[in-house]
């Protein structure tokens, strides 16, 4: 009975190690320009296309004071910065990059 339990535990450990190795295969270390290109590719660059009336939108945006930023905005910025740092130092997957969209 004890050997069966030990064998089951060993099998579970091997399965977990295999899954972690599969995750590591799909990670890429991306920094700087390569990271920005990957984010644009993942999120779709259509949001940055020039739209008609863009000049008016920019002028309207300048009227809003910077003090309207909330703590939630700052938390998202901090989380994004942490994710960017991890992508550069350790590596990240495409699903991680989609969190930056």
Q: What range does the domain containing 89 cover? A: 27-44+72-101
In this structure, is residue 82 part of a structural domain? yes
Regarding pTM above 0.85, the answer is: no
CA distance 28 to 19: 17
Tell me, yes or no, whether 96 lies in a domain: yes
Question: How many independent structural domains does the chain possess?
Answer: 1
pLDDT digits (tens, 9 = 90+) for 54-69: 555 555 555 555 556 6
Which phi-psi region, left, alpha or beta, contains residue 29 (left: φ > 0; alpha: ψ -120 to 50)?
A: beta
Helix (H) or strand (E) holding 72: helix 71-89
Q: Is residue 5 part of a domain?
A: no
Whether 38 is covered by a domain: the verdict is: yes
In a domain, 22, yes or no: no
The pLDDT tens digits of the residues spanning 14-25 come to 555 555 555 557
Q: Is residue 101 part of a domain?
A: yes
């Amino acid at each position: 009975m004890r050997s069966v339990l030990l064998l089951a535990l060993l099998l579970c450990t091997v399965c977990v190690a295999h899954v972690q190795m599969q995750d590591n295969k799909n990670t890429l270390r991306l920094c700087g320009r390569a990271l920005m290109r990957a984010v644009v590719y993942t999120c779709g660059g259509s949001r940055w296309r020039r739209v008609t009336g863009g000049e008016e939108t920019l002028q309207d945006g300048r009227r809003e004071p910077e003090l309207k930023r909330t703590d939630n905005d700052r938390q998202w910025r901090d989380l994004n910065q942490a994710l960017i740092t991890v992508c550069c130092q350790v590596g990240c997957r495409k699903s991680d990059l989609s969190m930056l969209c």
